Structure 1
Amino acid sequence: MACKTISFFFFCFLFISIDSISSQQLSDTETDCSKRWIHIRRLPSRFNLDLLTNCSEYPIFDNFCPYLANHGLGPKTHNKSQSWYRSNPLLLELIFHRRMVEYPCLTSDPSQANAIYLPYYAAIDSLRYLYGPGVNNSMEHGLELYDYLQDNEGWIWSRNHGADHFLVMSRPALDFSQSVDVNPPIWGTSFLELPEFYNLTVLIVEGRAWPWQEQAVPYLTSFHPPNLGLLESWIKRVKASKRTTLLLFAGGGGAGSSPNIRRSIRNECENNSLSNSSDVYVNNGGGHDYYKMRKVCDIVDCSNGVCEHDPVRYMRPMLRATFCLQPPGDTPTRRSTFDGIIAGCIPVFFEEQSAKSQYGWHLPEEMYRDFAVFMPKEDIVFKGLRILDVLMGIPRDEVRRMRERVIELIPRVVYRKHGSSLDLRARKDAFDIAVEGALQRIHSRLKARDFDQ
């Protein structure tokens, strides 16, 4: 079939690439593939690429057709841009699939693989249950995939009962964790509640606190450098950026009267006229270090999704800010956390589920105090703790050290562009760390199972 549409073109490219990579005998002797072999399970296109043809069918959610450009990175922010795109976070599954065909340790023989990658676009498929005609059948999400895995070369799945398989999901686990016994259905599908998938390793943008198989990976941002020079150029810009704003919140919500953390943030910034201040005293040990700022507090209003595909709207203010506030919304985590890190802005969290207990592979928990600030939201909303007082009490030297650690994290949370240069591939990005973590988890799981037997 001719590749006439963007999705069919991508489909043809993917599988030509897979055939090419899988059939070769990995001539690069510098690549150590010991315990790193991955087999990409071939799935019918109805489980991935065909789903992209429905990109405009869920108006309640969004029309994501414009963001399929550049193999899912989205259109460039401007014509001369080499690293910045209007990326849609939903398309992380597609981008992950595209990157997997470049993975250096692919094998066409599943019996020789240490892990099996399922290129199933679970979050995109979930749209028909969340916003489309399948809303009353959401407990069936995933059953068609399971039946296919059982009926077609079923030994690949059954030999380890799925414990050596992994996939990516680009929506929070809350959207996939409805009980299969709920009737009538409420929000979400039941994919993660199906016993058939309990052994599956799931790389997801936000996991729950208890299931072992869920591991949070960074949200997709808009920064996708194609070579090391452009990554280093951006980091140089981040280091040189003048931090003329003390704290920034980029987001929506908080406009109502009910007490919540976003409302408290807006009150502190607006009602006390902090955003108009120009001179700030910052605690520096026993004394005070005096320096001027244009703003103490800045708010970038991202209500109604106006920021989602316009990184310029929030990245420029983040480059000017010392601290970026990351309050929870409908769920604990935010894409903004990773936008802020890319801008060198120190994250301020109000729930441990927002990052500390989520992204341990990419944001090591032992480093948490070195690059982030934590304030319990209850202390702010109900006990009168002022965010400004806490942040102004941090010594300037400590702020400088925290920013340095944030900047060190930038390469770890970026999904570099597919087809990137060899020098950039030598640096682990968010994709590399996620795959490495999945392999280690699967290895540990299988080793423990063998020991129990």
Structure 2
Amino acid sequence: MKTILSLIAALSLSSLLVFGPVNSQQPDIDPVECSGRWIHIRNLPTRFNLDLLTNCSDFPLFDDFCPYLANHGLGQKTHNQTRSWYRTDPFMLELIFHRRMLEYPCLTADPAVASAVFLPYYAGIDSLRYLYGSDVNSSFEHGLDLFQFLKHYDSPQIWGNHQGHDHFLVMARPAWDFSQSVSCDQPIWGTSFLELPEFYNITALILESRTWPWQEQAIPYPTSFHPPNTALFEAWMTRVRQSRRSTLMVFAGGGGSSSSPNIRRSIRLECENSANSSEINDEYSKSCEFIDCSNGVCEHDPIRFMRPMLQSDFCLQPPGDTPTRRSTFDGIIAGCIPVFFEDQSAKTQYTWHLPEDKYNDFSVYIPKEDVVFKGVKILDVLLGIPRDKVRRMRESVLEIIPRVMYRKHGSSPGLKTMKDAFDIAVEGTLQRIKGRLQQVPLH
């Protein structure tokens, strides 16, 4: 218990996460600049956020996530000297986003003038008790307590004015984890939060969305890179740009060891065969590198995969249990050109952060069916790309890096002028809510 309390104290959330927004009349806030951008943070009881963190070691089937609460959800530093690299768990995005929302320049204490309302609810963390804990047979109840609070307590007119159309929250898990049917007689995997009619109108920022519900929008998985100032960001960009790419392609992940045909198995076999081959392209000292990340050994140790990614031209991003991967964003941070095998891995997901019309500029697409069933060799496809095009693609990847990173909270004014993943997510949310409110009458 002492360890848990010390970690929560390290967050300093008790003083910083004052869930009411800052005074909208602060002299450093420009009302003109904030026009159409005002956000109100709902004053939720701590049982919906901070109190959930005290259970960080209660789900042994999931993980003890206590170590990843440090630094407002960024996790512990990878080493003592660093100021930019952390052992970040992507499921802590709710904390990271909440902390950044407190720095948002256009917060208002008056919900009547707000363009959007943020719910600081740690939905993914709260879902653990339904996914791995004692409430596994009550997963259809996930979110009902929150809805009752929003509708009946603490100024219920805030919810009632637009029936939730102006509300948004972050859910740090794939949407499939919140999509169990409410009427499912025998509970299967997941909770029913996103299936509740009560929440059909909200905007859910999520790590991976489904293809049909309008209210879901995928935003990037957090990586381990969170620079606090422009100098450290530029230093990393220089390292990425100057890194010698001596490996053609790299795959960091698990799976693929079964005998059944699938894309990960094909990748592993091709990597093994290339290692045994005497034919190596003159441009590279190694054709393929496989980094075995089975059993989660890479999740909180970016050194395992970032160095190989820095040394590779292409990063293979096959789907796994779900279509998307955090590794997609790790690779982009390393300046490694992503290779996708299905559109749902990124193209139909991160439409705010990775513009769909520019995918050919920064990525390669090889249908997984061609690799698994038609004998297409990934090495042949990548070696067939002209070197000058590879260089242009890398420059396009470098341009994307700021858009997919989450800079550190409290970062320097200079770095704040550069839009990061958080900024783009908030901007997209405001635009989406504006469009919805134009279609919905005021109650």
TM-score, with structure 2 as normaliser: 0.96
Q: Which residue of 2 aligns with 1:309?
A: 300
What is the total number of aligned residue pairs between the two structures?
438
Whole-angstrom CA distance in 2 between matches of 1:384 and 1:77: 41
Residue 206 (structure 1) aligned with residue 208 (structure 2): yes
Cα distance between partner residues in 1 of 2:25 and 2:106? 11
| C-alpha displacement of 1:15 | 3.5
Alignment correspondent of 2:58: 57
Determine if contact 2:21/2:41 at 8 Å carries over to the other structure: no
SS of the residue corresponding to residue 449 of structure 1 reads coil
The aligned residue for residue 350 of structure 2 is 359
Corresponding residue for residue 26 of structure 2 = 25
Sort the Cα spacing of 1:201 and 1:435 in 2 relative to 1 into closer, same or farther, 3 A.
Answer: same
Task: Determine if the alignment matches structure 1 residue 36 to structure 2 residue 27.
Answer: no
8 Å Cα contact 1:238/1:319 also seen in 2 = yes
Residue in structure 2 matching 1:378, options 360, 364, 369: 369
Q: Distance in 1 between the 2:141 and 2:5 partners?
A: 32
Per the alignment, residue 253 of structure 2 pairs with: 251
For residues 359-380 of structure 1, what are the alpha-carbon distances to aligned partners after superposition, in whole Å with 9 as ceiling and x for unaligned?
0100000111110111111111
State the partner residue of 1:346.
337
Question: In structure 1, what residue type is equivalent to 2:321?
Answer: D
Shift of 1:23: 5.9
- Alpha-carbon spacing, 1:87–1:275, altered in 2? closer, same or farther (3 Å): farther
Partners of 1:392 and 1:110 lie apart in 2 by: 56
Q: Is residue 175 of structure 2 the alignment partner of residue 173 of structure 1?
A: yes
Counterpart of 2:326? 335
Distance 1:379 1:278, change over 3 A: closer
Match of 1:111 in 2: 112
Question: Residue 294 of structure 1 corresponds to which residue in structure 2?
Answer: 285
**Contact map agreement 2:7 2:67 (CA 8 A) in 1:** no
Change beyond 3 A, Cα 1:336–1:313: same
Q: Cα gap change, 1:4/1:171 in structure 2, threshold over 3 Å: closer, same or farther?
A: closer
Residues 1:419 and 2:427 aligned together:
no
For 1:345 and 1:23, the matched residues in 2 are separated by: 42
Q: Match of 2:147, SS? A: helix
Matched residue of 2:12: which SS? helix
Q: Judging changes above 3 Å, is the alpha-carbon distance between structure 1 residues 445 and 26 closer, same or farther for their aligned structure 2 residues? A: farther
Do the aligned partners of 1:278 and 1:292 also contact (CA within 8 Å) in 2?
no
1:287 alignment partner in structure 2: none
> Given residue 172 of structure 2, which amino acid in structure 1 is its aligned partner?
S
- 1:441 corresponds to 2:432: yes
For residue 288 of structure 1, what is the aligned residue in structure 2? none
CA distance in structure 2 between the partners assigned to 1:226 and 1:187 by the alignment: 38
Which whole-Å CA distance do the structure 1 matches of 2:421 and 2:126 have between them?
Answer: 24
Q: What amino acid maps onto 1:404 in structure 2?
A: E
Could you give the per-residue CA deviations for residues 163-184 of structure 1, whole angstroms, max 9, x where no partner exists?
Answer: 0000001100000001101111
Give the Å deviation of 1:14.
Answer: 2.5
Deviation at 1:292, TM superposition (A): 3.2
Q: Distance in 1 between matches of 2:31 and 2:393?
A: 36
Q: Which amino acid aligns with 1:63?
A: D
Q: Find the aligned partners of 1:103 and 1:278 in 2 and give their Cα distance.
A: 54
Question: 3-state DSSP class of the match of 2:17?
Answer: helix
In 1: Cα distance, 2:316 partner to 2:21 partner? 46
8 Å Cα contact 1:342-1:410 kept in structure 2: yes
SS in 1 for 2:58: coil
The alpha-carbon deviation at position 81 of structure 1 amounts to 0.3
**C-alpha root-mean-square deviation of aligned residues, in Å?**
1.7
Cα gap change, 1:278 to 1:224, in 2 (>3 Å): farther
Matched residue, 1:145: 146
CA distances 1:210-240 after superposition (whole Å, capped 9, x unpaired): 1111000000110000001111110111000
- The one-letter code of the counterpart of 1:314 is F
Question: Residues of 1 paired with 2:232 and 2:94: CA distance?
Answer: 24
Structure 2 unmatched runs, 5+:
none
Check the 8 A contact 2:210/2:216 in 1, yes or no: yes
Q: What CA deviation, in whole Å up to 9, does each residue of 1:247-275 have, x standing for no partner? A: 100000001111100000011111x2336
**Could you say which residue in structure 1 is the equivalent of 2:156?**
154
Distance (Å, rounded) in 1 between the aligned partners of 2:278 and 2:90: 35
The answer for unaligned runs of 5 or more in structure 1 is 281-290
Deviation at 1:277, TM superposition (A): 5.2
Q: Distance in 1 between matches of 2:175 and 2:415?
A: 31
With over 3 angstroms needed to count, the CA separation of the structure-2 counterparts of 1:32 and 1:345, relative to structure 1, is same
TM-score using structure 1 length: 0.94
2 CA distance for matches of 1:357 and 1:254?
24
Q: Does structure 1 conserve the Cα–Cα contact (< 8 Å) formed by 2:21 and 2:109?
A: no
Q: Superposed, which structure 2 residues align to 1:92-107 within 5 Å?
A: 92-107=93-108
Deviations 1:172-218 (A, max 9, x none): 00000011011110000000000000000000010000111100000
The 3-state SS of whatever aligns with 1:273 is: helix
